[in-house]
A and B are shown apart, each in its own frame.
Chain A
Amino acid sequence: KMSAPGGNKSTNSEAWGSFDDNLIQGGGSAVIDMENMDDTSGSSFEDMGEMHQRMKEEEEVTEEAAATEEGEDGEFLGMKGFRGQLGRQVADEVWQAGKRQASKAFNLYANIDILRPYFDVEPVQVRNRLIESLIPVRMINFPQKIAGELYGPLMLVFTLVAILLHGMKTSGTVIREGTLMGTAIGTCFGYWLGVASFIYFLAYLSNAQITMLQMLSLLGYGLFSHCLVLFITYNVHFHSLFYILWLVIGGLSTLRMVAALISRTVGQTPRLLLCGTLAALHMLFLLYLHFTYHKIVEGILDTLEGPNVPPIQRVARDLPAMSATLVNATVKSIGATLQSH
């Protein structure tokens, strides 16, 4: 396997004679390159290992990578001749980096194939799982089945983004140094990925039998309740309605997640820790989303100054008895957890 620049040189070799020979020695493909390295520095085991690895990698790299490689090799022809060992080392490093990027670009399609099993669902299955996400199962002695699937969660997160955008627009939220879209996407994906990994970390600490994939799926389907509640309450502005929906729908989906987690954990303290954290985070997130991006209805301006104010600036709006509600929520969710034992 040889690259273009070297090839052109060898066609002209009569005209350029010895100078050209040098160039052929110095440049060209990686294989020849490595041979040279062995000649000059003596072949150590390290070199051999590296060479072997590189040759193996080279086989994997596709035509795209080959294209980049060619260009770079041409560039480094002169450099290697003049600076010897150092130049060669730098060139090697740059070449490696270039190749890594090229193969990364190529791997995009390969990655799609890796992800494909997680998207292997039927519409009926998705519908059933959406419904099941609101039905807590009272079976905590035997590990509950959690489907490892990402289509539903991903679509729910995007739906939540759209609903949040709607809420932000109607509430006249102004975000400086950022767009509404970016904030909505950041909030939703941040919650989904962040909380899932946090709970997974806790689960790992407390020896719960759950994989990251199952955690993502569980939490993702848990967002169905958020979508429902927020979609209704961003359009129908009754505080009492929100609290009822928050407790009933949000509570149901939280209970369902908590039950699934409990069934896969052993011991009182780990259960309490895991489920308390998850329940609190899940319920509070719904509260936060509702009150942060809710339309001003009553005109009472009562800004909450506290730990729940994110670093973004926004206009003040009604937040009736927010802090009291937060405390209540925490107490209730902890209570719910305790009861479900």
Chain B
Amino acid sequence: MREIIHLIKKDCMLIVRDASNLVMILLLPLLIATIFGAINSASEETNKLAVALVDNDKTPISAAYIERLSQRDDLEIIQSTLEEAQNATRLGDVIAYMILEPDFGARLQQFPFISSPPEIRIVSDPKRKVISGMITGITIPTAMELVQERQDSGTSGMASPSLQPLKITHEDYVVESELPVSAFSITVPQAALWSILACVAIMSTSLATERLQQTILRLKVSPTPMWVILSSKILSCMFTIFISCAILIVYGKIAFQLNIQSFAMLSFAILCSAFCFAGLMLAIGSLGSNPGSVAGAAWSIMVIFAMLGGGMMPQFLMPEWLSALSSISPGKWSILLMEGAIWRNYSIVEALFPAAILIGLGGLGCVAGVRNLNREKFI
């Protein structure tokens, strides 16, 4: 019995004394519990679905309908012109835009004594198609409430509850271009992110192996300056990321006729992402000298970033504080920047913000990694 206790104690000590193990077995589950707990328990705080609304009708009835939609807890209505709505959808600021057609008010007033009900067009971000169904589920009952209210006040005919008061048409938002958006246009940035995460895990493990085998010691003593050694570590990670993304894109072009709005922008997006994740690789790789636990820690941290970045659940399901926190996830900005190049048609100015965040996070990672490596004791 005594032996068993000592064996257990030894294993526990081995786990606790490696910071990278703690990331994997404690930090990751705690964050998962916090994130999912926040999503499941805080329905009142949940992010509203941001939807742009273009009122082409501009009648008191359309205004009353918009007012009613705005009062809902689950929608954030942003009244816009068509151009503004398209732009907000393109940039990913809203998940969709709705267009109330010019005869919306008149038709709704005549409901149900008309052959066809008033029409609302919902044009959604193709990445968030599923959500347009949720918007439909909100818009129709709201219209019904409005109709019933008007009937109660005698301003409308009697409605039959079995009839739909609105006709909803769904469209995917497509950037004005000769190049169609394919399903692969949506999935390629996500696949590229997974490839980047794998590169980070592999390269940080390789750095830990260098520390374990003391080859890093040999590099430090060589006449080659330390900044050259660390820069080459970062560059080799960036190069690996760049090559893996390039292979993915070539595969997309050949197998799925992937269309890319701007190759230059895509290269810029991958470059920024590569720098960001190479910096993180340096920070993670300097966490410990046990390659196995560093690999585990790398994957744990990447999963946390993927979760926060909306890679595992839609961000609108998150409470506001968590949604704000997701801005630290490089995955979110990396995907957005790649989408900007592939189908969102980002301008240089629009790309600068996510690019700056990626470069900033990469810089922080580099500083943390260099500090850890310089602090290292060789006993």
Pair from one complex: no
B interface residues, Cβ below 8 angstroms from A: none
A interface residues, Cβ below 8 angstroms from B: none
